[in-house]
Amino acid sequence: MAILVNRDTRLIVQGITGREGSFHTKQMIDYGTNLVGGVTPGKGGEWVHGKPVFDTVKKAVDATGANASIIFVAAPYAPDAIYEAIDAGIELIVCITEGIPILDMMKVYEHLNHSSSRLVGPNCPGLLAPGIAKIGIMPGYIARPGSVGVVSKSGTLTYEVVYALTNAGLGQTTCLGIGGDPIIGTHFVDALQMFEEDPETEKVVLIGEIGGRAEVDAAEFIKTQMTKPVAAFIAGKSAPPGTRMGHAGAIIEGGEGTATEKIEALLAAGVRVADNPEQIPSLLQ
């Protein structure tokens, strides 16, 4: 069983008429995702890939019964798109958008905490439940149904590890990219708890990187709460302090957030840590 999505998930696309929104709408439909419509203010009444477009999320929810949304909206407008989805009662919100200012996300996070919505992202590839749904930009062909849960800060490393797992005959329940920004809606611990509670997930892969303490928090949760085996990879061993590496949150400051610190915490929690992503399948077998 997948986490976050199932056969009852009804997805809308905020920004469906834009170039990226339209392109990935077709990709998600072709994968088999239950995509029921989209939202672009001022474009209500139009159709994109056979799906109706609405002016607001509320109108889309009322007309289609949507309970999930994916956001392909430029950074200056993405926070308002998230607010709108929250206020419309959307249960799962996935925000692909990169470059949202931290201050804006702090305000979004506060609003999110007073709602029943879950946000994945921003600046993430979304999630892929093999054989069930693709909500985001992950290539569907790299995955196959199975019993391994994958959670990652990095989009590209997610694809690499999932493809390696598939080639090794290890299918996945859900592949989840949480994003690497300093303020995100769903953290490693959230995903680990969902995988722990999912009866079909037997093993878990965690892919982290330098910056912050999310992986250390994950290690503490694994040590005290998880019964399922976990393998991990931490990117950025050679990153110089004070230099941002890729994601906005991937920066070592004040001697904290180093790959060494995170690897030591994970090892102490009984996690098998790979030296490179290609080792992950062998660590799980």
pLDDT value of residue 183: 95
Q: Is the pLDDT of residue 17 over 70?
A: yes
Q: Which of 24, 49, 111, 247 is catalytic?
A: 247
Q: How confident is the model at residue 285 (pLDDT cuts 50, 70, 90)?
A: confident
The fold of 138-284 is: Rossmann fold (3.40.50)
pLDDT value of residue 258: 86
pLDDT value of residue 241: 57
pLDDT value of residue 240: 61
Q: Taking the mean position of all CA atoms in its chain, how far away is CA 255?
A: 28
Peptide bond into 122 cis (omega under 30): yes
The lowest-confidence range among 30-34, 35-39, 219-223, 257-261 is 257-261
Inter-CA distances, 36 with 9, 11, 31, 180, 218, Å = 10, 6, 14, 29, 35
Domain 11-120 superfamily per CATH: NAD(P)-binding Rossmann-like Domain (3.40.50.720)
Average the pLDDT over 15-44 and give the result.
Answer: 98
Q: How confident is the model at residue 162 (pLDDT cuts 50, 70, 90)?
A: very high
> Pairing relation of β-strands 92-95 and 145-152?
unpaired
Q: Is the pLDDT of residue 185 over 50?
A: yes
> Pairing relation of β-strands 126-129 and 172-177?
antiparallel
Considering the chain, what percentage of its residues have pLDDT values greater than 90?
Answer: 88
pLDDT value of residue 257: 77
pLDDT one-digit tens code per residue, 224-255: 999 999 999 998 766 565 555 554 544 445 45
Of residues 91, 222, 204, the one with CA closest to residue 151: 204
Q: Is the dihedral of CA 262, 264, 267, 269 positive or negative?
A: negative
In this chain, the answer to whether the domains covering 11-120 and 138-284 adopt an identical fold is yes
Residue 111's identity, in one-letter code, is H
pLDDT value of residue 100: 97
pLDDT one-digit tens code per residue, 73-125: 999 999 999 999 999 999 999 999 999 999 999 999 999 999 999 999 999 99
pLDDT value of residue 154: 87
pLDDT value of residue 250: 46
pLDDT value of residue 246: 52
Q: What angle do CA 134, 138, 144 make, to 5 degrees?
A: 70
Considering the chain, what percentage of its residues have pLDDT values greater than 70?
Answer: 92
The pTM for the full model equals 0.94
For the chain, domain boundaries: 11-120, 138-284
pLDDT value of residue 6: 95
**C-alpha–C-alpha distance, residues 52 and 64, integer Å:** 9
Q: How confident is the model at residue 276 (pLDDT cuts 50, 70, 90)?
A: very high
Q: Is residue 187 annotated as part of the catalytic site, yes or no?
A: no
Average the pLDDT over 256-272 and give the result.
Answer: 92
Cα Rg, the chain, nearest whole Å: 18
Average the pLDDT over 193-211 and give the result.
Answer: 96
